[in-house]
Structure 1
Amino acid sequence: PPPNPQARASELRRSQLMHMMQRSPPNPVDARATQEYAHSLSRNQRLRQPQGASTNPPLQPEKSLDNQRNGRPDPKESEELSVNLECKVCFTQLVDTVLLPCGHAVLCRWCADTHLPSCRNNPTRLEGDPSCPICRGPVRHKV
């Protein structure tokens, strides 16, 4: 079936736009606006065509941080962006101790000293074979 008048007009605008993009000097602001316009035209054309009709491949927008339609997840809510820095043992103090080698920062100093006692001659070395309360991996040092 022949294309309808709207599709023909849209295709004409698209080809004129492509011609203009190819012969105009590169200007980042104009190029981006032109590219967004071309993408919009292409999308509108696809929406107007009945399903199953063959189409030209759509213009793909350039991937960038500003392009929200390239598979990037939706923004997080403000509650999801907050960092919980309370001790995971006592829940009353702020975390200030990092366990190595796993790197978990989940204990306040008091809980770290109580549950992971240090050697007397080296306060970063631990007595026995303690494990991380999060991953249960071996803890060699606390900082």
Structure 2
Amino acid sequence: MAITVDTPHDLLNQVGQDLGTTEWLVVDQDRIDGFAQVTGDHQWIHVDPVRAKEGPFGTTIAHGYLTLSLVNLFLPQLLRIQSFASGVNVGLDRVRFIAPVRVGSRLRGQGQILAMEEVKGGAIQSVVRMTVEIDGQEKPACVADTVSRYFP
């Protein structure tokens, strides 16, 4: 369930707030192949199930950047801001790929607000740590500190 606030200003005192987790999402071969098609990254470990069966993971794995891109799917499921003129993705402060995502894995996002501040022009900037968890695995797939800016 998402945390919903009226305005970005309502988040200024929410540093440290745990945003909870999203529903699980299955990463299937079609999603991996689609990502390979869009990015041009057709490395066999991602797109050749026969060859990957003999590889280090025993199956194909998702691209690290595919896993990272899911942060953009998960974050709005955890945090909803009702009223602002526009929002922009400023970037990432830190990204780590910790564990491989084998085809068929279930992933979910977990979020925590690390920082909220008013910046030049009256915008509110947030830093939210998104952890992409793998069902049944101790280590997460990815941890990324996202930076977003919301304009009044």
Same fold (TM > 0.5): no
TM-score (norm: length of structure 1): 0.20
Question: Of the two, which has the highest radius of gyration?
Answer: 1
TM-score (norm: length of structure 2): 0.19
Q: Which has the higher helix share?
A: 1
- Structure of greater relative contact order (alpha carbons < 8 Å, 6+ residues apart): 2
